[in-house]
Amino acid sequence: MIKPMPRTVLLNPGPVNITDKVRKAMALPDLCHREKEFADLMFSIRSKLLQAFKIEETFTSVLVSGSGTAALEMAVSSSLTPGRSMLVIENGVYGERIGKICDVYNLDRHTIHLEWGTPPNLEDIENILKKQSDIEVVSLVHHETTTGLLNPLKGIGELAKKYGKIFLVDCISSLAGDEVDFASIDLAVGTANKCLQGVPGVSFVLTRKKDLDRLGKIPSRTLYFDLTGYHKAQEKGGLLFTPAIPAHYALDVALDELIEETVSGRIDRYAKAANFLREGFKNLNLEFLVPEGWRSNCLTGLKLPKGTGYEKLHKELKANGFVIYAGQGNLSDSIFRIANMGDIHPEEYQRFLKVLGSVC
Smallest gap from Cβ 272 to ligand PLP, in A, equals: 22
| 20-36 core/surface letters (b: 16 or more CB in 10 A; e: else) | eebeebbebeeeebeee
145 belongs to the binding site for ligand PLP (CB under 6 A) = yes
Which span (166-174, 209-217, 286-294, 312-320) binds ligand PLP, by CB under 6 A?
Answer: 166-174
Closer Cβ to ligand PLP, 42 or 172, answer by number:
172
204 belongs to the binding site for ligand PLP (CB under 6 A) = no
Which of 19, 44, 58, 69 is in the footprint of ligand PLP by CB under 6 A? 69
Smallest gap from Cβ 301 to ligand PLP, in A, equals: 13
173 belongs to the binding site for ligand PLP (CB under 6 A) = yes
139 belongs to the binding site for ligand PLP (CB under 6 A) = no
170 belongs to the binding site for ligand PLP (CB under 6 A) = yes
How many C-beta neighbours within 10 Å does residue 195 have?
31
Which of 13, 117, 190, 301 is in the footprint of ligand PLP by CB under 6 A? 13
Smallest gap from Cβ 273 to ligand PLP, in A, equals: 18
Which of 141, 251, 267, 338 is in the footprint of ligand PLP by CB under 6 A? 141
Which span (67-75, 77-85, 124-132, 159-167) binds ligand PLP, by CB under 6 A?
Answer: 67-75
CA distances 5 to 9, 75, 230, 318, 319, Å, are 11, 37, 38, 12, 12
Which residues neighbour 136 within 8 Å (Cβ) at sequence distance 6 or greater? Answer: 80, 81, 84, 85, 86, 165, 166
| 283-299 core/surface letters (b: 16 or more CB in 10 A; e: else) | eeebebbbeeebbbbbb
CA-based max dimension of the chain: 59
67 belongs to the binding site for ligand PLP (CB under 6 A) = yes
296 belongs to the binding site for ligand PLP (CB under 6 A) = no
Closer Cβ to ligand PLP, 143 or 165, answer by number:
143
Residues counted in the chain:
360
CA distances 199 to 26, 37, 64, 176, Å, are 9, 20, 14, 15
Which residues neighbour 73 within 8 Å (Cβ) at sequence distance 6 or greater? Answer: 101, 222, 225
Terminal alpha carbon distance of the chain: 36
Comparing every residue's Cβ against ligand PLP, the nearest one is: 68
Which span (3-11, 66-74, 243-251, 333-341) binds ligand PLP, by CB under 6 A?
Answer: 66-74
Closer Cβ to ligand PLP, 339 or 359, answer by number:
339
Which of 22, 63, 102, 172 is in the footprint of ligand PLP by CB under 6 A? 172
Which of 191, 234, 296, 300 is in the footprint of ligand PLP by CB under 6 A? 191
Closer Cβ to ligand PLP, 76 or 359, answer by number:
76
How many residues belong to the site for ligand PLP (CB under 6 A)? 14
Smallest gap from Cβ 287 to ligand PLP, in A, equals: 23
Q: Rounded to an integer, what distance in angstroms lies between the CA atom of residue 142 and that of residue 293?
A: 14
94 belongs to the binding site for ligand PLP (CB under 6 A) = yes
Which residues neighbour 63 within 8 Å (Cβ) at sequence distance 6 or greater? Answer: 42, 45, 46, 202, 203, 204, 230, 234, 243, 248
Closer Cβ to ligand PLP, 81 or 328, answer by number:
328
Closer Cβ to ligand PLP, 14 or 198, answer by number:
14
Residue 65: which of 169, 208, 200, 256 has the closest Cα?
200
Which span (128-136, 137-145, 212-220, 277-285) binds ligand PLP, by CB under 6 A?
Answer: 137-145
Site residues, ligand PLP (CB under 6 A): 13-14, 67-69, 72, 94, 141, 143, 145, 170, 172-173, 191
